[in-house]
Amino acid sequence: MVQGTTSDAGKSTLVAGLCRVLRRRGVRVVPFKPQNMALNSAVTAQGGEIGRAQALQAQAAGVPPHTDMNPVLLKPNSDVGAQIIIQGKALADMDARGYHEYKPRAMSAVLASYHRLRAQYDCVLVEGAGSPAEINLRDRDIANMGFAEAVDCPVVLVADIDRGGVFAHIVGTLQCLSSSERERVRGFVINRFRGDIGLLQSGVEWLERKTGKPVFGVMPYLHGLHLDAEDAIKTEQGEKAAGGRLRVIVPVFPRISNHTDFDALRAHPQVEFSFIGPGMRISHADLIILPGTKSVQADLDWLLGEGWVPEIKRHLRYGGKLIGICGGMQMLGTWLHDPHGLEGAATSRPGLGMLNYETTLEPKKQLRQVHGRLAGSGARVSGYEIHMGITAGPALARAAIRLDDGQFDGALSEDEQVLTTYLHGLFDEPEACSALLHWAGLARPVAVDVAVLREASINRLADTLAEHLQIDRLLAVVR
C-alpha cells in the first residue's frame, strides 16, 4: 500500500507507475483505492462510477477499469456533505457524521472488493487517501492504516520534497502512528526532487538512521506529464509555440467536476487555455466553456455572484462561442427543477435562458459510456455521462451529437454560437477536438491525441521509476 505524508504527495502517480513497471515484468497487477474523495470520476464499461485516478492506474496495469478498484467514492456537494458511491452506484447523500456512522458498512464493501481482486491478480497495489497522520480520522478508518491493519498490508510512505519540510513530514507522520502501524511502514519514497541529488544524500542517510527504514529512491520532478488528475486542478502549463492560438477560458466553479475534460485543450499547441477563479474577469476569449459541477444550483448562484453572466453575454454578442458540459449544459437552459430536494430545498428556479430547454433533477444517476458524431462536421466523439438531470425542450431538436445507439445528445443554438452536451471527454477524440476548435475559430487545427499523450506519460513515468527507485529492493521488502 502506498500512503502519503500529505494529500497530493504523489500516491496516485506512484501507483500508476508501479502498475506499468510490474506489467512490463509480466505480473498480473491491479490498482485498488479503498476510499476516494474526488469530483473527477470515470464510468466503467458496466456503468459503474470510480475515481478518475483508478481508471488511469487500470490503463497502466493493462486491465479494464472495474468498480472493485475503488469501492467507496465520496463526491463532495458541500463543505460538510458528500454523495456516497458504493461499488459504483450512488447510495445516498450524507454529512460527515452520518458517513462516520456508516463506515463499518462501507468497510464491508471495501473488503469484499479487495478479496475479489486478490483472488484474480498476482499483486494488488493499494493507494491510501490523504495522510495516515490525520488523528481525527483514525477511528473507523478505512482509507489508510485501518485498511492496512485489517488485511495485513505492508506500506510504503511517499513524501513531496517540493513542498519543503520533507524530513519533518516523514518523521512526524511516523510519530503519529501506533507502534504496529509504524512497523507496517517498510520504507519511503521521496517525490518531486529538483536539483543536485548529491546535496540530498546526507539528509537521506540521516532519515534512514533516525527511522531504521530505507529510502527506496528519490523521484525527480517530472514536467509535462499528461496524466488524469485525481481531483486538484493542475496549474502547470507546458511551453507552446507562438502564433495561431485560440483563447479558451473555463470558470472554476466551487464544485467543478471532471475538469479532466480539458486535458486535451491544455495540451494543444494552438490553444491558450486558462482556468479563471473568484475575483477574476473574463477578458477576450474565442471560446468559453461552462464545466460540469456536483452542485448545479449553488454554482449557478456563484457564477451570477461573480458578475460573469453579463460578460458571457457580451462575449456572445462579439461573436464568441460558448460550450456547456453536463452541469454547465443544465445552467444554460430556461429552468432548473429540483422536486426531490437533491441539491437543497425542493424548488424550481430560472437558468441562464440561453437555450430553450428545462432540466429536472432525478434521484437516479445516469452512468454510461457513449459514442457518436458531432452535428455538422460528423467528427467522431467518445465520452461518458455522469449526471442526475433529465433535460427536455425544443432546443434539443437541434442536437449537438448523434449517438451510435440512435439517440441524440445536447443542443446547438440556431446561430451556432452555443453548444451544450452531457458528454464528458468531449475533446478526447482528436477528430472531435479539431472540429470543435475549428468551430470556435481556429483555421487549421492540428490533431492532438490525448490518449497517446497519456500512454506516453505512463511509459515515461515507469522508465523514471525503474531508473530512480530500487524496485527489486522495494518488492523484496514488501513481499
Q: What are phi and psi of 353, to 5 degrees?
A: 70, 25
CA contacts within 13 A on the Cβ side of 302: 18
Q: Which residue in the list 326, 337, 371, 387 is annotated as catalytic?
A: 326
Start-to-end C-alpha separation, the chain:
11
Q: How far apart are CA 348 and CA 345, in angstroms?
A: 9
The three grid cell numbers given for residue 288, joined into one nine-digit string: 468559453
Whether the Cβ atoms of residue 328 and residue 420 lie closer than 8 Å to each other: yes
Q: How far apart are CA 90 and CA 72, in angstroms?
A: 10
Q: How far apart are CA 285 and CA 246, in angstroms?
A: 8
226 carries an active-site annotation? no
Please return the burial class of 97, using the count of CB atoms within 10 Å of its CB with bins 0-12, 13-18 and 19+. Answer: exposed
19 carries an active-site annotation? no
Q: Which sign, positive or negative, has the C-alpha torsion 225, 226, 230, 236?
A: positive
Which residue blocks in 90-165 are alpha helix, DSSP H?
Answer: 96-120, 145-151
Q: Which residue in the list 123, 169, 424, 433 is annotated as catalytic?
A: 424
Whether the Cβ atoms of residue 333 and residue 391 lie closer than 8 Å to each other: yes
The three grid cell numbers given for residue 226, joined into one nine-digit string: 499528461
Strand order in the sheet with 287-290: 271-276, 246-251, 287-290, 321-325, 418-421, 411-412
* Residues annotated as part of the active site: 326, 424
